[in-house]
């Protein structure tokens, strides 16, 4: 599976957009970009995934660059409950390979 | 609640004892996965099932570990002769995999194992 690089931590003000970057320069042509998050002491939660086009759902938006070597997860209006570890994963949905992720702290 | 459930939520055992965990996936999901997560690390893949068939096992899954999904519904993960290094959160996930599609995994709350 392709390796991803994420910043170890980020802060965001409550109510503002949180933009979480991910580099995946070795992604192969048909691998997807997945985002999951894990709130303390809970199981990971699926957020969104995409292949080439930008995607949006009720939780977030996913922007994938044209060369597919990086992506950004956008939480449009972050709340305190969005404080979590966010994992960017590339693959086919099977056998997820989690890195260290980004700790997002949303502050009031 | 129709999500993935895991039992027990917490298990404390003495070194050398056997333990068994149960996972009930979302009812129509055909794939079931087991992961292990130690403190401060991301989850690590252990094994997965397509219906009742175990299709892949990580080398992390030593011969003391065995997983089953006998009727393609719930799954059990057994650890024999537990060691202190087995202390971790054991996570189960499930997904509905259709031919040619992409799919997401839905995780349960995990079973936290402490080996004393």
CA A41 – CA B108 distance, rounded (Å): 11
Q: How far is B29 from chain A (nearest CA, A)?
A: 13
Interface touch B105/A95, C-beta < 8 Å: no
Distance from the Cα of residue B113 to its chain's centroid: 12
Q: Determine the Cα–Cα distance for residues A75 and A94; give it in Å rounded to an integer.
A: 25
In chain B, which residues have their Cβ closer than 8 Å to the Cβ of A101? 42
Confidence of residue B52 (pLDDT cuts 50, 70, 90): very high
CB distance A62 to A20 below 8 Å? no
- Phi, psi angle pair for B60, to nearest 5°: -65, -25
Taking the C-alpha atoms of residue A102 and residue B99, their distance in angstroms, rounded to an integer, is 32
Burial tier of A2 (Cβ tally within 10 Å: 0-12, 13-18, 19+): middle
Q: A90 CA to chain B: closest CA distance, Å?
A: 12
- A48-62, A64-78, B45-59, B95-109: which range is least confident on average? B95-109
Provide CB contacts within 8 A for A22, sequence distance 6+. Answer: A4, A5, A6, A33, A35, A70, A71, A72, A73, A88
Mean pLDDT confidence for B20-40: 95
Q: Where are the beta strands (DSSP E) in chain B?
A: 5-7, 10-13, 19-24, 31-37, 44-50, 53-57, 65-68, 75-79, 88-95, 106-107, 111-115
A35–B contact, CB cutoff 8 A: no
The mean per-residue pLDDT over the stretch B86-99 comes to 93
Share above pLDDT 90 across residues of chain B, in percent, rounded to a whole number: 85
Cβ <8 Å between B91 and A93: no
Going by C-alpha positions, the residue among B67, B91, B88 that lies closest to residue B79 is B67
Task: Provide, rounded to the nearest whole percent, the portion of chain B with pLDDT above 70.
Answer: 97
Q: Identify the CA nearest to A25 among candidates A74, A69, A55, A67.
A: A69
Task: Please give the residue that has the higher pLDDT: either B107 or A92.
Answer: B107
User: Could you identify the residue written with the tokens 């060369």?
Assistant: A67
A60 and A48 Cβ atoms separated by less than 8 Å: yes
Please check whether residue B102 is in contact with residue A32, taking contact to mean a CB–CB distance below 8 angstroms: yes
Q: Which of A43, A49, A87 sits opposite B42 (nearest CB)?
A: A87
- Selected for mutation to probe chain A from B7, B25, B107 (highest A CB count within 10 Å) is B107
Taking a contact as any Cβ pair under 8 Å apart, which residues of chain B between 60 and 99 contact chain A?
91, 93, 95, 97
Q: Closest-CA residue in chain A for B6?
A: A43
Q: Which residues 47-106 in chain A show a CB within 8 A of chain B?
A: 49, 51, 85, 87, 92-101
pLDDT band with cut points at 50, 70 and 90 for residue B37? very high
Residues in chain B closer than 8 A to A44 (CB atoms): 43, 91, 93, 105, 107
Nearby residues of A23 by Cβ (< 8 Å), 6 or more positions away: A4, A5, A6, A69, A70
For A33-91, write each residue's pLDDT tens digit.
999 999 988 999 999 999 998 999 999 999 999 999 999 999 999 999 999 999 999 98
């Amino acid at each position: 599976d392709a390796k991803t690089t994420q910043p170890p931590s980020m802060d965001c003000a409550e109510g503002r957009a949180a933009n979480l970057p991910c580099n995946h320069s070795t992604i192969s042509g048909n691998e997807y970009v997945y985002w999951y998050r894990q709130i303390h002491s809970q199981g990971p939660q699926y957020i969104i995934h995409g292949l080439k086009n930008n995607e949006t759902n009720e939780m977030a938006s996913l922007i994938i660059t044209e060369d597919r070597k990086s992506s950004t997860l956008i939480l449009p209006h972050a709340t305190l409950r969005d404080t979590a570890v966010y994992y960017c994963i590339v693959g086919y949905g099977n056998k997820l390979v989690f890195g260290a992720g980004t700790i997002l702290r949303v502050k009031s | 609640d129709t999500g993935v459930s895991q039992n027990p939520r917490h298990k404390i055992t003495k070194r050398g004892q056997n333990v068994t965990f149960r996972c009930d996936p979302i009812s129509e999901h055909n794939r079931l996965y087991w992961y292990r997560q130690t403190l401060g690390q991301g989850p690590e893949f252990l094994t997965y099932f397509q219906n009742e068939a175990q299709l892949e096992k990580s080398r992390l899954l030593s011969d003391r570990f065995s997983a089953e999904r006998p009727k393609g519904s719930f799954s059990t993960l057994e650890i024999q002769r537990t060691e202190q290094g087995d202390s971790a959160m054991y996570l189960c996930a499930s997904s509905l995999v259709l031919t040619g599609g992409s799919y997401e995994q839905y995780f349960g709350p995990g079973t936290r194992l402490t080996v004393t």
